[in-house]
Structure 1
Amino acid sequence: MRIVVDKREKNSGIPELLKQSGVFVDFATLKVGDYVVFDNVVIERKTVSDLLTSFYDGRLFIQCSELVKHFSTPLLIVEGNIEDLKFESRGSLRNYNQKFQLVYDSLITIILDFKIPLVHTPNIEHTTNFLIAIANKLSRKYSYGPLLRKIRKQTSEQIQQLSILSSLPGVGGMFAVKMLKEFNTPKRALNASAAELAKIPGFGTVRAQRIRKILDNAYNDADEENQKTLLEHLK
């Protein structure tokens, strides 16, 4: 049995556990995903902390867009316990709760908008067992293993463009891609009217009007306490 593993997963402990279980681990620099177990099956692995970090820096939904673009069966493994965020994060209890809610919102978007199935594992041992189980099932059904395909990875400029648009309320990576395809540049997308935005397939009038409201309304200086809360939320 063979599993292709992204080189950045070398220090996770999972490749070593796979080898101990008799799996042939083929390291490669994967443009999309962390583990390829079959030609069209790719698995992205994130700890709960990774999930939150990638949401904050704008990578999460861009990665999801790449997964569904290049593979017909992408999966996301979320590893760990959400309660661990209490020990990894700073701030008030309210801030903890905000971070929990961001994790939930991210998972809902991944499931409903990107149609990516989620698998929860408590630790690397269970993640390893899942990888072996799915690779076993596919190897029994098919006579060949994972095949690597050439994937043109987005440039840092493209990622920054998508990150800008995906941070808008209700947009995310999938609609950010659609906005750039429709308007070609972030500037044109941000200057588009609500009616123009609503013409994007699946975008809808409510989402378009909400975005225009966010972009057009003047910023009101908050009091010192509210500013502190906002800054804590952005950490």
Structure 2
Amino acid sequence: KIIVDVREFRCSLPLLIHTKEINVKPCTLIVGDYILTPTHCVERKSVNDLIQSFKSGRLYNQVESMSTYYKQPILLIEFNQDKSFLLQVILHILIYIFKYIQSKIVLLLLAFPNLKILWASSPYASSEMFDDIKKSQKEPDEQEALSKGTELLEKNNQEKSYNPYTQYNVTPQEMLLSIPGVNYKNYRIIMNNVENIYELSQMTVDQLNPLVGIESARLIYNFFNSTPKDKLV
């Protein structure tokens, strides 16, 4: 069986999984879109959704959540089955990936070395990959999958109850939270001690460490200073 987030039923992949005689269990998941095994969690993105997720910073948070709760987080990048995969490669890979997404993916892999990225030419190809991954693996448990990330949801609800307009400008706050290494635990500390995003981008790891800790400091520093060929400090 595969546990599937209910929002994924707007696409064709759950039905294709079902046609392979795999039991599909719909659940409202906090972490991931598809739970293949107790250790394999998948976040599915179309190319357009991938671009928007990078721009908003949502993808970093999603991968961070998967890495926290699952041994093998997987990012599935899925192309449109209604168009030629070759055409999609020409249009999206050349135009977007080499100009924008490529460096973002490299930074994502630097931040989360255990993340695996799968490229699928269509939802059917995705279902084939899922079938292969599940072979000789244990079945996932619905209750366990549902429990993943509940504390994150509680924290987010607490954050929503706090009115940011009384102290911070929302747009810079959202920009700040999209930066790897910045999260709901440390963003207020940063906003209270750093004048603006530019000042943050000029800070060294040693300067960031007292504010956010060494691991987050490295992520923030590398986000602003690394090129795809650079190594983590």
Please say if residues 14 and 124 of structure 1, whose CA atoms lie closer than 8 Å, have aligned partners that are also in contact: yes
Distance 1:6 1:162, change over 3 A: farther
Distance 1:15 1:206, change over 3 A: closer
Distance 1:3 1:114, change over 3 A: same
Percent identity, aligned pairs only, is 20
Structure 2 unmatched ranges of 5 or more: 80-84, 161-169, 226-233
- 1:159-202 CA-to-partner distances (Å, cap 9, x unmatched) read 988743244xxxx33x113xx54564452253487553144314
Hey, what's the Cα distance between the residues in 2 that align with 1:206 and 1:20?
44
* Number of the residue aligned with 1:218: none
CA RMSD, aligned part only? 3.4
* Number of the residue aligned with 1:127: 126
* Number of the residue aligned with 1:228: none
Q: Give me the TM-score of the superposition, normalised by structure 1.
A: 0.67
Secondary structure at the aligned position of 2:35 is classed as: strand
* Number of the residue aligned with 1:176: 182
Hey, what's the Cα distance between the residues in 1 that align with 2:220 and 2:118?
32
* Number of the residue aligned with 1:196: 207
Q: Does 1:164 align with 2:179?
A: no
Distance 1:41 1:206, change over 3 A: closer
* Number of the residue aligned with 2:191: 187
* Number of the residue aligned with 1:56: 55
Aligned residue identity for 1:196: Q
Q: Give me the TM-score of the superposition, normalised by structure 2.
A: 0.68
Structure 1 unmatched ranges of 5 or more: 89-95, 212-235
* Number of the residue aligned with 1:155: 156
Count of matched residue pairs: 191
- Superposed, 1:78-117 pairs within 5 Å as 78-80=77-79, 84=88, 97=95, 100-115=98-113, 116-117=115-116
Aligned residue identity for 1:201: I
Distance 1:22 1:97, change over 3 A: closer
Q: Rg larger in 1 or in 2?
A: 1
Secondary structure at the aligned position of 1:19 is classed as: helix
